[in-house]
A and B are shown apart, each in its own frame.
Chain A
């Protein structure tokens, strides 16, 4: 099963621009995480935001979480060609030890 939608499904930008991806989910969560996946490769964990947090930063990444709207956004500032990848949000349940449920993902293409 999947939690919900991410939008946009695909995003093409120029180097130096900012990229914003959105994620919505359906059920109550404990944490929401963002992952990156390069084509044909495994997942790279980017950032985790807890349900009692509203915003978190890590380098060029900024994540927001609105639990009332059951949505999150990932902002990548000053994008680089190396940021080209698919980005997924993933949520867990309120109980410890539950599986992560992934959104459908956003494919980001950054051209130089």
Chain B
């Protein structure tokens, strides 16, 4: 089956620093990847849609200058949390659409970000 990886799986950073999270589709090409955020005991909230070779589309209330998304290839999207604050501590999950079967979406295992 299709596999999506995320790296790192866990990261702890200090307030004010930036953190980059990678999302890779390992055995398929993904023209579209999605980034979600999940706070404790809550559901997944869509943050942004990332299209290969173009700018990401952000959901209302998500700061595009704070959450930088780059989708430079058909197998890699990155989310950079800039100037992280403790309130950015969350579980970040990406998903990817199979280029040849756009209704199939595969989720990465998630990245636990803790900002101290």
A residues sitting closer than 8 Å to B (CB atoms) are: 1-2, 30-31, 40-43, 45, 88, 92, 96-97, 99-105, 107
B residues sitting closer than 8 Å to A (CB atoms) are: 31-32, 34, 36, 41-46, 49, 59-60, 91, 93, 95, 97, 102-103, 105, 107-110, 112
A1-B46, A101-B46 known; A96 and B34 CB under 8 Å?
A: no
Q: Is the CB of A42 within 8 A of B43?
A: no
Q: Is the CB of B46 within 8 A of A99?
A: yes
Name the one of B42, B60, B91, B108 contacting A1, with C-beta atoms under 8 angstroms: B60
A42-B107, A43-B107 known; A103 and B93 CB under 8 Å?
A: no
Q: Is the CB of B109 within 8 A of A105?
A: no
A104 to chain B: closest residue by CB:
B43
A2-B45, A99-B46, A104-B43 known; A42 and B34 CB under 8 Å?
A: no
Name the one of B43, B46, B91, B103 contacting A96, with C-beta atoms under 8 angstroms: B103
Q: Tell me, in angstroms, the Cα distance from A40 to B105 when the chains sit together.
A: 21
Q: Would you give the shortest CB distance from B112 to chain A, in whole angstroms? A: 7
A99-B34, A100-B95 known; A31 and B103 CB under 8 Å?
A: yes
Q: Would you give the shortest CB distance from A35 to chain B, in whole angstroms? A: 8
A1-B59, A101-B46, A102-B44 known; A42 and B108 CB under 8 Å?
A: yes
